[in-house]
């Protein structure tokens, strides 16, 4: 039994200490990146497994870099082994991919004992992500939603619809207008931006109160939400 475990037992204390420090640092910095991701995430398709993947992925990459070291043959073998793995999880948000890649990069830097690069990279990456989130960098004003309804093709109803839209919306533009019920009704679709979020309900209520109005629906479409 001693001969079986001799390669493990005879490892130098420095080697063990170096591996433990690198792995713990990779895990800690991976959690920092995951925490920044959680704090700056906007959307509905949040996945707890993605956060776990960031924290644990840094350990895996660190372990691989420690195992490879300066051995070129070992590096080629690890690359070949990874190429045989098929990752079928798809990420629709490029931001998720960047955070996962950052966690893997932290693991690589920790595995190569480039502790300064790992710590500084994590701090700058996390600070940059928070700054972009707080400042709303890259955001553009988009319509709040799509307003759809069916109304009778009467001049008085059309004028009433226009008055209600002007009273409740900052901007509105007609997207589609087509006949329904063999020409007795007209189906409208508008892209709108309401003056304030509190006016969404009064807008729908006012339209529903018009004579002959049917199927009034306001579908909100936040551009930052990935359903």
pLDDT bin (cut points 50, 70, 90) of residue 73 is low
Half-sphere exposure of 36 (CA within 13 A, CB side): 26
Does the structure show a pLDDT above 80 at 71?
no
Q: What local confidence, expressed as pLDDT, does residue 78 receive?
A: 57
pLDDT band at 225 (very low <50, low <70, confident <90, very high): very low
Per-residue pLDDT reduced to its tens digit, 82-117: 555 566 666 677 788 888 888 888 888 888 888 888
At 139 the pLDDT is 63
Q: Check whether 15 has a pLDDT greater than 50.
A: yes
What percent of the chain lies above the pLDDT cut of 70? Answer: 77
Other CB atoms within 10 Å distance of the CB of residue 147: 26
Kindly report the three-state secondary structure assignment for every residue of the chain. Answer: CHHHHHHHHCCCHHHHHHHHHHHHHHHHHHHHHHHHHHHHCCCCCCCHHHHHHHHHHHHHHHHHHHHHCCCHHHHHHHHHHHHCCCCCCCCCCHHHHHHHHHHHHHHHHHHCCCHHHHHHHHHHHHHHHHHHHHHCCCCCCCCCEEEEEEECCCHHHHHHHHHHHHHHEEEEEEEEEEEECCCCEEEEEEEEEECCHHHHHHHHHHHHCCCCCEEEEEEECCCCCCC
Residue with tokens 């799509």: 146
**pLDDT at 32 (0 to 100):** 92
In the chain, CATH 3.30.70.260 covers: 145-220
Q: Domain 145-220: give its CATH architecture.
A: 2-Layer Sandwich (3.30)
Return all residues near 121 (Cβ < 8 A) that are at least 6 apart.
Answer: 102, 105, 106, 109
Higher pLDDT, 29 or 17: 29
**What integer pLDDT is reported at residue 85 of this predicted model?**
56
Instruction: Determine the average pLDDT of the residues in 62-74.
Output: 72
pLDDT value of residue 157: 84
Q: What does the alpha-carbon distance between residue 74 and residue 43 come to, in Å, rounded to a whole number?
A: 41
What are the tokens at 192? 């709108």
Average pLDDT, whole number, for the chain?
Answer: 79
Provide the terminal-to-terminal Cα distance of the chain, rounded to the nearest Å. 56
Q: Is the pLDDT of residue 187 over 50?
A: yes
- Whole-prediction pTM value? 0.60
Dist. CA 33–CA 39, nearest whole Å: 10
Beta bridge partners of 173: 191
pLDDT value of residue 156 = 83
CA atoms within 13 A on the CB side of 161: 26
Predicted confidence (pLDDT) per residue in 194-214, tens digit? 888 888 888 888 888 888 888
Each residue of 48-60: pLDDT tens digit? 888 888 888 888 8
């Amino acid at each position: 039994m001693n001969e079986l475990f001799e390669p493990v037992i005879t490892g130098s204390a420095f080697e063990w200490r170096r591996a433990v420090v690198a792995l713990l640092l990779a895990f800690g910095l991976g959690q920092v990146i995951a925490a920044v991701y959680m704090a700056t995430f906007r959307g509905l398709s949040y996945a707890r497994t993605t956060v776990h993947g960031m924290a644990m992925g840094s350990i895996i990459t660190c372990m691989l870099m420690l195992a490879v070291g300066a051995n070129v043959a070992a590096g080629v073998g690890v690359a070949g082994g990874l190429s045989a793995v098929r990752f079928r999880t798809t990420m629709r948000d490029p931001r998720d991919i960047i955070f996962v890649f950052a966690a893997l990069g932290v693991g690589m830097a920790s595995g190569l004992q480039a502790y300064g690069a790992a710590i500084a990279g994590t701090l700058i990456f996390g600070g940059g992500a928070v700054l972009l989130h707080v400042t709303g960098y890259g955001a553009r004003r988009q319509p709040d939603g799509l307003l759809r309804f069916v109304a009778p093709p009467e001049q008085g109803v059309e004028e009433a619809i226009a008055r209600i839209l002007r009273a409740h919306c900052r901007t509105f533009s007609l997207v589609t207008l087509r006949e329904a019920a063999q020409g007795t009704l007209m189906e409208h679709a508008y892209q709108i931006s309401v003056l304030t979020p509190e006016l969404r309900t009064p807008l729908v209520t006012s339209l529903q109160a018009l004579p002959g109005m049917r199927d009034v629906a306001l579908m909100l479409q936040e551009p930052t939400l990935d359903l």
